[in-house]
C-alpha cells in the first residue's frame, strides 16, 4: 500500500513537472529508467525506491521525449479533440479571426501581467480634438434640447446644417479626404457630450462614424471609391446608412436573405457587367434621409461571369438612393426617440460591379469586412452613449438629492437613497473606466473584438441600472414629460442601446465567452488550427502547453485560496494596492474554470449558454475591474476618485466571484465542479461587494457639489442656469448651498425654541428681529427656497397644449 501511494505521488509530481515545461526531466529520468532496469537485472527483486525510479523513467520517456510523446500520446489525443470540437461555419471562422486580442488574453491566462497594464499609455484627445469637443460639440448640444426634438419629430434644420458644416459626419474620415481625422477617444468624447443632452443628436452623429460606408471604404475601398465618396461623406453632401438587419436576420446577421445576381444590364445608358439586387431591410438608422445605402447581401454568379464559384457569399456595396427600384423614406418610431430610423427595400435594382466596396475582387468578402470593422467600432459609440447617459444621471440626481427635501432632510441623506446614489456613481465610474481603457487600445492600433463586445454589452446594461436608479430617486420629476424632465428621454432610449449592434442576450452568451474562449485562450485556437491542419507536432506543443497551464493555475488557485494572495506583490501602493492580488486570484479561478468547462463539455459548451453567460460575466468584470485600477493609477490616485474606485473594484470582484460560484453550481460534470471549487472557493465566497459604509461614502460624494460629483460627470453638456431641467436644478443647488449656514442657524434656533413663528415669511421676520439672521442671510434663504421650488416643479399643460404634444 505504501509503495502504491509513493508511486502515485511520484507519477503526479512527474506529470506536473513535465507539464510545467521541464522537458529535460525526460532525459534525466529516462537515464534513471535504464539504471533501474540494469539494477533489476543484477539484483534480487527491486526495492520500492527502484520501482518508483523505474515508473518515473518510463513516464519520462513517454511524456518528456517529444518524438515518443507525439506517437504515443499526442496523436491519440488529437483524434479525441477533433471528435469533440464543434463544427464551424465559414462565417463563424471569420468572426473568430476578426480583430486582435489584448489584455483579455492576459486575463484568460490566469496570470495577468499588471506591469504591462500599468505601463500602457492611454492617449488623451489632442488639443485640437479637445477644442472641438468644448466648442462645436458644445454648440451643437445647445441647439438640441430633446423635448423640442421630440415635439418636432426631428433635429431642427439649423442643427442638421451645423452637423454637416462642422464635419460631425466625418469625424473618422482622415483630413486628406476632408474629414476631421479624429481619434477614437475624441469621437467618443463628442458622443458622451451629445448623448447627455439629446439621444437623437448623439445617434445621428455616431452612426456615420461607426460601422458603415465610411469605415468600410477606409479599410477596403478602392482609391477611386475613396476619392469619390469620402469627401462627400465628410462634408455631409452624402448622408449614409448601412443596411444589414432584416426581418429574419437580426443578431444572426449571417442569415440574411437579401440577394444579388451577377449579370449584364444597362446602367446610366451603357451596358455593363453588374448585379441585380433585391432586399428588404429594417431598423436602419438614417435610412429615411440617406442618399447612399451601404448594403449587405448574398451574391451569386450562376452564369460564371466572374469565375467558377456560383455562391460568392456576403458582399457589401454602395447603392445611391436615387437608383431605380430603391425605396426609402418611411420611418420607425423607436419608443418615441425621434432619430431617423426606418426600412429600406430594393427590387430589381441594377448597379455595376464597381459598386462593390473594394471592387469585384472583394465580392463575397463582406462578412469578414464587417467583422473586422465591428471588432473596433463596437467599443466606441454605444459605450460612449452609455457613459453620457450615466454621467447625466449622476449629475442631476446628485443635485436633486441635495435640493429636494422630505421630513426636513435632503433626500440624499436617507440610507435607501444613498444605496441608489452609490450605485449610480460607482457604475458610472466603472463603465467610464472601461471606455477609456478600450479607447486607448483602439487608438494604439488594437482591434480587441472580445473587449469591445464586453463594453457594448456591459456598458449598456450598467446604463440601464443607472438610469433606472436615477428615475427612482427623481420620482415624479422623472415621470412627467416636458422641458423640465431631462432623464425621461434617456430612460426610454435604454432598450435601444441594449438591442442594437448585437442584442445583449446573445452578445453575453455567444460572443464574449464563446469567441473569447477560442481567441483569448493561450492555446485553444492553436490546438484547433493544428487539428484542422492534422499537424501532430503543432498539436503536441499546444496541447501540452495547455496541460501545463491547467496544472499551473490549479496550484496557483489552491495557494490563493489558502491566503497566498497576501504573498503576491502589487505594482502600486496606496488605496488600490490590495485589489490587484484579489483580481489575480479570481482571474486564475476563471481560467481554471473555463478550461474544465471546455474539457468536460467539449463542443457541447457552445450550447450551454447559461454557463457561457456566467463565464462571460466573470471575464467582463475582470476586465472592468482592471480598467478601474488602471484609471485610478493614471489619474494619480486622486482623492476625489478614491471612494468610487473602491466601490467599483469591490463591485467587480463580487460580480466575478458570484459568476464563478454560479458556474460551478451548474457545471454538469459534478466531480469536475467539486474539484475546481475545492481549488478556487474551498471556503465559499469571500467577495461581498461594497458595504453600507462604502455606499454612504460614495453617495455623499454626489451631494453638495463636491469634487467627486464634478469629476464623475465631467464629460456632459451643462446648459445655462435659465434653462428648465438640469440648468435650473444646478442653479438651485448653488442657492441651496449658499444658504446652508443661514438655514442651520434657523433650525438651531427653532430647536432651542428661540423662534415660535410659523410660516416661512413669519419665521424669517422673527429670525431677523431676534438677531439670529442678518438681512443678507434672509435674502439667501428666500432665494434658495424660490430656486428649490422651481427646481422640483414639473411640467403641466393645458388641454390644447397636451393635444398638440400628443399629435
Residues 247, 280 contacting (CB under 8 angstroms): yes
Residue 807 exposed, middle or buried by CB count within 10 Å (0-12, 13-18, 19+): exposed
CA atoms within 13 A on the CB side of 579: 27
Helix segments in 500-638, DSSP class H: 504-506, 516-519, 524-533, 536-561, 579-601, 609-634
Among candidate residues 12, 7, 1, the one with its CA nearest the CA of residue 51: 7
Q: Active site includes 311?
A: no
Distance CA 343, CA 328 (A): 7
- Judge contact between 70 and 43, C-beta under 8 A: no
The Cα 317–Cα 296 span in angstroms is 7
**CA 435/CA 385 separation, integer angstroms:** 10
- Please tell me the distance from the alpha carbon of residue 401 to that of residue 388, in angstroms, as a whole number: 20
Distance CA 483, CA 793 (A): 11
Q: Using alpha carbons, list the distances in angstroms from residue 19 to 15, 310, 549.
A: 6, 49, 8
Tell me if 459 sits within 8 A of 387, measured CB to CB. yes
Tell me the C-alpha distance between 481 and 332, whole Å. 21
Q: b vs e for 276-306, b when ≥16 Cβ sit within 10 Å of the residue's Cβ?
A: bbbbbbbbbbbbbbbbbbbbbbbbbbeeeeb
Rounded Cα–Cα distance for residues 392 and 494 (Å): 14
Whether the Cβ atoms of residue 301 and residue 307 lie closer than 8 Å to each other? yes
Going by C-alpha positions, the residue among 438, 60, 500 that lies closest to residue 282 is: 500
Chain Cα centroid distance, residue 637: 24
Pairing of strands 240-243, 292-300: parallel
Catalytic residue among 238, 246, 446, 501: 501
CA atoms of 227 and 758, how far apart (whole Å): 76
**Phi, psi of 495, deg, nearest 5:** -60, -25
HEC sequence for 685-697: CCCCCCCHHHHHH
DSSP one-letter code for 279:
E
What phi, psi does 243 have (nearest 5°)?
-100, 105
CA dihedral of residues 779, 780, 786, 792 (deg, nearest 10): -170
Distance between CA atoms of residues 584 and 517, nearest Å: 18
Active centre residues (catalytic): 501
Amino acid at each position: 500500500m505504501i509503495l502504491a501511494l509513493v508511486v502515485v505521488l511520484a507519477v503526479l509530481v512527474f506529470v506536473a513537472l513535465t507539464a510545467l515545461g521541464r522537458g529535460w526531466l525526460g532525459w534525466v529520468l529516462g537515464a534513471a529508467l535504464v539504471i533501474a532496469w540494469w539494477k533489476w537485472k543484477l539484483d534480487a527483486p527491486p526495492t520500492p525506491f527502484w520501482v518508483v525510479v523505474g515508473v518515473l523513467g518510463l513516464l519520462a520517456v513517454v511524456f518528456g521525449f517529444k518524438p515518443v510523446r507525439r506517437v504515443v500520446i499526442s496523436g491519440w489525443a488529437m483524434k479525441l479533440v477533433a471528435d469533440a470540437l464543434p463544427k464551424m461555419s465559414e462565417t463563424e471562422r471569420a468572426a473568430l479571426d476578426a480583430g486582435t486580442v489584448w489584455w483579455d488574453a492576459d486575463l484568460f491566462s490566469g496570470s495577468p501581467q499588471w506591469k504591462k497594464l500599468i505601463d500602457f499609455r492611454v492617449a488623451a484627445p489632442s488639443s485640437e480634438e479637445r477644442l472641438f469637443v468644448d466648442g462645436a460639440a458644445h454648440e451643437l448640444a445647445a441647439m438640441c434640447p430633446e423635448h423640442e426634438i421630440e415635439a418636432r419629430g426631428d433635429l431642427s434644420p439649423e442643427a442638421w446644417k451645423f452637423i454637416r458644416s462642422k464635419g460631425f459626419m466625418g469625424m473618422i474620415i482622415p483630413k486628406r479626404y476632408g474629414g476631421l481625422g479624429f481619434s477614437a477617444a475624441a469621437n467618443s468624447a463628442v458622443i458622451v457630450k451629445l448623448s447627455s443632452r439629446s439621444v437623437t443628436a448623439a445617434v445621428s452623429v455616431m452612426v456615420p462614424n461607426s460601422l458603415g460606408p465610411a469605415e468600410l471604404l477606409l479599410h477596403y475601398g478602392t482609391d477611386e471609391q475613396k476619392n469619390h465618396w469620402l469627401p462627400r461623406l465628410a462634408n455631409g453632401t452624402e448622408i449614409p446608412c448601412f443596411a444589414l438587419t432584416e426581418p429574419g436576420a437580426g443578431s444572426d446577421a449571417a442569415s440574411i436573405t437579401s440577394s444579388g445576381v451577377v449579370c449584364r444590364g444597362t446602367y446610366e445608358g451603357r451596358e455593363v457587367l453588374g448585379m441585380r439586387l433585391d432586399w428588404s431591410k429594417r431598423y436602419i438608422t438614417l435610412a429615411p434621409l440617406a442618399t447612399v445605402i451601404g448594403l449587405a447581401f448574398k451574391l451569386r454568379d450562376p452564369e460564371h461571369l466572374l469565375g467558377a464559384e456560383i455562391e460568392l457569399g456576403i458582399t457589401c456595396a454602395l447603392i445611391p438612393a436615387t437608383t431605380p427600384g430603391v425605396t426609402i423614406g418611411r420611418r420607425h418610431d423607436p419608443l418615441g426617440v425621434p432619430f431617423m430610423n426606418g426600412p429600406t427595400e430594393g427590387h430589381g435594382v441594377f448597379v455595376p460591379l464597381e459598386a462593390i466596396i473594394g471592387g469585384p475582387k472583394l465580392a463575397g468578402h463582406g462578412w469578414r469586412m464587417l467583422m473586422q470593422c465591428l471588432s473596433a467600432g463596437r467599443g466606441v459609440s454605444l459605450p460612449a452613449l452609455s457613459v453620457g447617459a450615466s454621467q447625466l444621471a449622476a449629475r442631476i440626481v446628485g443635485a436633486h438629492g441635495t435640493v429636494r427635501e422630505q421630513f426636513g432632510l435632503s433626500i440624499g441623506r436617507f440610507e435607501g437613497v444613498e444605496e441608489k446614489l452609490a450605485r449610480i456613481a460607482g457604475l458610472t465610474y466603472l463603465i467610464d473606466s472601461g471606455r477609456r481603457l478600450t479607447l486607448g487600445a483602439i487608438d494604439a492600433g488594437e482591434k480587441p473584438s472580445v473587449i469591445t463586445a464586453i463594453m457594448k454589452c456591459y456598458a449598456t446594461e450598467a446604463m440601464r441600472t443607472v438610469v433606472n436608479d436615477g428615475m427612482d430617486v427623481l420620482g415624479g420629476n422623472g415621470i412627467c414629460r416636458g422641458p423640465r424632465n431631462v432623464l425621461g428621454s434617456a430612460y426610454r432610449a435604454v432598450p435601444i442601446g441594449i438591442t442594437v449592434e448585437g442584442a445583449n442576450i446573445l452578445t453575453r452568451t455567444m460572443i464574449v465567452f464563446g469567441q473569447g474562449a477560442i481567441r483569448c485562450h493561450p492555446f485553444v485556437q492553436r490546438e484547433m488550427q493544428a487539428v484542422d491542419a492534422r499537424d501532430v507536432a503543432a498539436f503536441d506543443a499546444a496541447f501540452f502547453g495547455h496541460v501545463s497551464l491547467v496544472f499551473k493555475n490549479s496550484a496557483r488557485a489552491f495557494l490563493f485560496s489558502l491566503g497566498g494572495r497576501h504573498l503576491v506583490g502589487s505594482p502600486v501602493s496606496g488605496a488600490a494596492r490590495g485589489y490587484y492580488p484579489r483580481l489575480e486570484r479570481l482571474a486564475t479561478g476563471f481560467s481554471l474554470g473555463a478550461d474544465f468547462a471546455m474539457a468536460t463539455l467539449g463542443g457541447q459548451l457552445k450550447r450551454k449558454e447559461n454557463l457561457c453567460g456566467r463565464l462571460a460575466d466573470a471575464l467582463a468584470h475582470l476586465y472592468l475591474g482592471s480598467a478601474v485600477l488602471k484609471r485610478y493609477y493614471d489619474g494619480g490616485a486622486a482623492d476625489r476618485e478614491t471612494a468610487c474606485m473602491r466601490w467599483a473594484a469591490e463591485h467587480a470582484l463580487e460580480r466575478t466571484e458570484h459568476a464563478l460560484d454560479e458556474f460551478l453550481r451548474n457545471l454538469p460534470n459534478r466531480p469536475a465542479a467539486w474539484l475546481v471549487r475545492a481549488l478556487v472557493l474551498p471556503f465559499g465566497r469571500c467577495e461581498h461587494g461594497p458595504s453600507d459604509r462604502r455606499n454612504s461614502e460614495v453617495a455623499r460624494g454626489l451631494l453638495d457639489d463636491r469634487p467627486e460629483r464634478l469629476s464623475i460627470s465631467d464629460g456632459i453638456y451643462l446648459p445655462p442656469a435659465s434653462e428648465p431641467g438640469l440648468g435650473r436644478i444646478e442653479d438651485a443647488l448653488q442657492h441651496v448651498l449658499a444658504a446652508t449656514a443661514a438655514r442651520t442657524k434657523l433650525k438651531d434656533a427653532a430647536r432651542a425654541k428661540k423662534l415660535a413663528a410659523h410660516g416661512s415669511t413669519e419665521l424669517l421676520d422673527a429670525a431677523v428681529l431676534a438677531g439670529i439672521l442678518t438681512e443678507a442671510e434672509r435674502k439667501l434663504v428666500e432665494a434658495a427656497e424660490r430656486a428649490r421650488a422651481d427646481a422640483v416643479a414639473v411640467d403641466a399643460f393645458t388641454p390644447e397644449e397636451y393635444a398638440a404634444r400628443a399629435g
